[in-house]
């Protein structure tokens, strides 16, 4: 069994989806599938059920998952020790970030880090707020960046930037005319496209609804989609609205393919996560410092 096979197994087990796991660890779906098949064949144990196009853990796979995570955490601890001994000239840094942060805000920070510390092997894993917090909790991430609220006493949560949430619609939607949209109309809208449960964007929008005395469960949700790009593409098809990060929709708004509805929503924080009881590595401290230096938060709408 190799370290890479363990990483692949955990990535697939957490998502129960080959393509999403492959994207998260920067491999091709075929390479991920082959690694899982080789692992199962060598030990003659079935770790996943293949049901049509779906994949799910077998009882054996579920029993093995905690052990695999524990091994990866120990390897990360060993890497941390060696990296600390050598300063910041060599080593590795595992960064987990929720989707909007990873796609639009974090890349310049990562490039600045690489420019200053080219000897550090920088690894980025993309998830949502819930999966990022879990990775920091389990020691699989040295540092995490999230866009939603998290309530976990073991984690240190510190605001690092702010981001505007906007409601977007297609140009032919009734809300595209620019007239203020009363909060009550959010419930009577023909339909909403939402990110999946656990998404920081969704959590921030639902929290804003509560401040307007609107029950998020009252919204007519037509689709739940796992990425900002999928949400925006669905909204462009017309008829529905979506709440997204302004940075995610910026290009489509500028091109006129989407229109920002006249709905006032509060900004939400981007936050950095660290485990309170784990000593942060020098690389993690340097990453947080650069993130704060590079931070250019959006202004509240």
Task: Give me the CATH number covering residue 14.
Answer: 1.10.10.10
Number of domains in the chain: 3
d(CA 79, CA 77): 5
Residues 60 and 3 in one domain: yes
Q: What is the rounded CA–CA span in Å between residue 181 and residue 193?
A: 18
Per the CB < 8 A criterion, the answer to whether 170 and 259 are in contact is: yes
* Residues 238 and 301 placed together within one structural domain of the fold: no
| Spatial separation of the C-alpha atoms in residues 214 and 185, rounded to whole Å | 10
Same domain, 50 and 105: no
Question: What pLDDT shows up at residue 297?
Answer: 45
- Backbone φ, ψ for residue 173 (5° rounding): -75, 150
pLDDT (0 to 100) of residue 86: 65
Q: What is the mean pLDDT of residues 87-98?
A: 86
- pLDDT tens per residue, range 235-269: 998 889 999 999 899 999 999 999 999 998 888 88
pLDDT in tens, 129-185: 889 999 999 999 999 999 878 889 999 999 998 888 999 999 999 999 999 998 889
- Cα 23 vs. chain centroid, distance in angstroms? 12
Q: What pLDDT, on a 0 to 100 scale, did the predictor assign at position 145?
A: 96
pLDDT over threshold 70, residue 301 = no
pTM of the model: 0.65
The verdict on 273 and 217 lying in the same domain is no
Do both 145 and 198 map to the same domain?
no
CB atoms within 10 A of CB 300: 13
Last residue of some domain: 85, 104, 133? Answer: 85
């Amino acid at each position: 069994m190799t370290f890479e096979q363990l990483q692949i197994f955990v990535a697939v087990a957490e998502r129960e989806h080959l393509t999403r796991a492959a994207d998260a660890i920067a491999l091709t779906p075929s390479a991920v599938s082959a690694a899982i098949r080789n692992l199962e064949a060598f030990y003659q144990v079935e770790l996943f059920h293949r049901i049509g196009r779906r994949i799910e853990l077998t009882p054996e796979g579920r029993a093995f998952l905690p052990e695999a995570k524990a091994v990866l955490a120990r390897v990360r601890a060993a890497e941390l020790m060696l990296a600390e001994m050598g300063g910041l000239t060599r080593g590795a840094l595992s960064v987990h970030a929720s989707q909007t942060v990873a796609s639009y805000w974090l890349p310049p920070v990562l490039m600045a880090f690489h420019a200053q510390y080219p000897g550090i092997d920088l690894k980025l894993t993309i998830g949502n707020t819930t999966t990022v917090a879990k990775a920091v909790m389990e020691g699989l991430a040295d540092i995490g960046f999230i866009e939603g609220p998290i309530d976990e006493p073991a984690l240190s949560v510190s605001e690092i930037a702010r981001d505007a949430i906007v409601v977007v619609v297609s140009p032919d939607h009734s809300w595209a005319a620019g007239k203020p949209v009363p909060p009550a109309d959010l419930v009577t809208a023909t339909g909403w496209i939402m990110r999946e449960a656990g998404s920081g964007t969704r959590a921030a929008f639902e929290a804003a609804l509560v401040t307007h005395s609107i029950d998020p469960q009252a919204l007519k949700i037509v689709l739940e989609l796992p990425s900002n790009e999928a949400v925006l593409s669905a909204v462009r098809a017309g008829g529905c609205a979506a709440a997204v990060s302004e940075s995610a929709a910026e290009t489509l708004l500028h091109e006129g393919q989407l229109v920002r509805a006249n709905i006032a929503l509060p900004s939400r924080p981007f936050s950095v996560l660290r485990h309170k009881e784990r000593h942060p590595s020098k690389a993690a401290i340097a990453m947080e410092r650069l993130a704060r230096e590079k931070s250019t938060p959006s202004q509240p709408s």
